[in-house]
Each structure stands twice: as structure tokens, then as C-alpha cells.
Amino acid sequence: MTTVTRADRRLVGRMAVALVATLGLGVPFLLLALLVRGEWGPLVDLDTAVAERLNGVAVRQDWLVDLMQDVSFVLGPWVLRPAVTVLAVVLLVRRRQRLGWWVLVALWAGALLGVVLKEVVDRARPQLTDAVASEGGRSFPSGHALGATIAIGLLALVLGTLISRRARILLWVGAALAVLLVSLSRLVLGVHYLSDVTAGMVLGVAWLAGTAAAFHAWRRDVGLPDAPMDELEPELADGAPEPSA
């Protein structure tokens, strides 16, 4: 049975530090947020031009709209987040307590971060004359882009410990393509601007990096060996028991 140690209790503090680190690492996100909030002309013009150009394509291609709606659902938060939650529960059941809790905290704290930032920036969604889809809520950052980056990144980090390094490269390429695809779907459907999905991806990467660094520090505190960023829990592949101290 895994004993809760002082190092374990410090994880909450480390995750708070990770949040601050995320904002620091996410300087491009902060810059985008400020430009969006200040309605900077060149960025508004670019966002509008891209939205109108893609909308012009979408209104003439019903099959494309249907495909992008399917992509948006399958790779959306309400599919990916439950899937990653199930993975975390499996880890907990298999007594990978620290890894399981880290996955849960990183996933759902990231989701909450996105909700809060949407309210702070308070950007309206694109208003298109021939809209092919509609969505409620605020626009910046894209919840789909942020959620997919975090969820797919967590899946790749955890599952990557079970496969060879060569296969891990293919896994990460597939993960990146999936994030780009769901981000594209939000643009084609006209429910987000280019800067929205860009900000979501940038913030997601920063959040993963910050929380993964906190997890690595936590591992060191409890006496587990250090590992590369893509090997969060190498013991998982070996079948060795997790230390309880």
C-alpha cells in the first residue's frame, strides 16, 4: 500500500508552482491574450481573414463540415477527458498511485485553467454570415485545442513508457497530428479564430511541461530514479513495484 509522505503532500504546492511556471513558459500565450484583449488591429485582421476564407470553403463542401464535426467530437474534451480519466483510474487500481493522481490533476486542473482564462479574456466567437456551425461560451483560448493538447499529451507520456523509443517517436507524431487536426476542425467549423486555437495549443504544451517537471521533482523526493520527460514512470514498463516511501 502506498503511504502518503511529506513529499506526496508537497505535490499540491508543486502543482501550484507548475501553474505559475506554465504562465511563464507560456509567454507566447500571454502575448496573444493581451493582443486579443486589446483588439490589436493586425491580429484581428488576420483572424477575420482566415475565418472568412475557411468559411467560404466550408459552405460549399457539406462533406467537409460533416467530417470536421466528427473530428471535433471524437477528439473533443468530452471524449478525451473521460478516456484519460479511465487511464488514471486504471493506474490507481494497479497501484501506480503517484502517476495516476498526477494524470488526474494535470488533466482536470488544465481544464479548469481553460475555463477561467475564457472568462478573463472574454472574447466573442466568430460571427459569420453563412455560419456552418454554432457554439456557446467564449472563444479564447480554444477549449478543444487546449484539452486535446493536454489529454493527448498525457496519453502519449504515459503510454510511451510501454513501447520502444522508435515507436514512441511515431506515437508523438500521431499525437501532434491529432492536436492539429482537431484545431483545424474548429477553424473550418467557424467556431474559433486562428489565435484561439494557437493559444490553446501553446498553453497546453506549457501546462504539460510545467506539471511534468513538478512530477519529476516529486519522484526524486520519494527516492525514485530520475527519467527523461518522455519516461515519466519507467517502472511501469518493468513491472517493478512502486516505492512506498
7-46 residue pLDDT tens: 555 555 555 555 555 556 567 888 888 888 888 999 999 9
- Give the count of domains, the chain: 1
Q: How many CB atoms lie within 10 A of CB 99?
A: 24
Distance (Å, whole) CA 186 – CA 230? 28
Helix (H) or strand (E) holding 198, with range, is helix 194-221
Spatial contact of 115 and 136, defined as CB atoms under 8 Å apart: no
Q: How many CB atoms lie within 10 A of CB 235?
A: 18
Q: How high does pLDDT run on average in the chain?
A: 82
Quote the percentage of the chain above a pLDDT of 70.
77
In a domain, 133, yes or no: yes
Kindly report, residue by residue over 56-106, the tens digit of the pLDDT.
999 998 999 999 999 999 999 999 999 999 999 998 898 887 788 889 989
**Cβ contacts of 12 within 8 Å, gap of 6 or more:** none
Distance (Å, whole) CA 196 – CA 72? 15
Which of the two residues, 34 and 3, has the higher pLDDT score?
34
Distance (Å, whole) CA 55 – CA 53? 5
pLDDT value at residue 83: 94
In a domain, 1, yes or no: no
Task: Categorize the per-residue pLDDT at 242 as very low, low, confident or very high, splitting at 50, 70 and 90.
Answer: very low
> What range defines the domain where residue 48 resides?
6-230
In a domain, 240, yes or no: no
In a domain, 210, yes or no: yes
In a domain, 141, yes or no: yes
Q: Number of helices (H) and strands (E), helices first, in the chain?
A: 10, 0
Task: Categorize the per-residue pLDDT at 229 as very low, low, confident or very high, splitting at 50, 70 and 90.
Answer: very low
Spatial contact of 88 and 114, defined as CB atoms under 8 Å apart: no
Distance (Å, whole) CA 118 – CA 124? 10
Q: Is 205's pLDDT higher than 50?
A: yes
In a domain, 236, yes or no: no
Q: How many CB atoms lie within 10 A of CB 12?
A: 11
Q: How many CB atoms lie within 10 A of CB 28?
A: 15
Q: Is 144's pLDDT higher than 90?
A: yes
In a domain, 244, yes or no: no
In a domain, 123, yes or no: yes
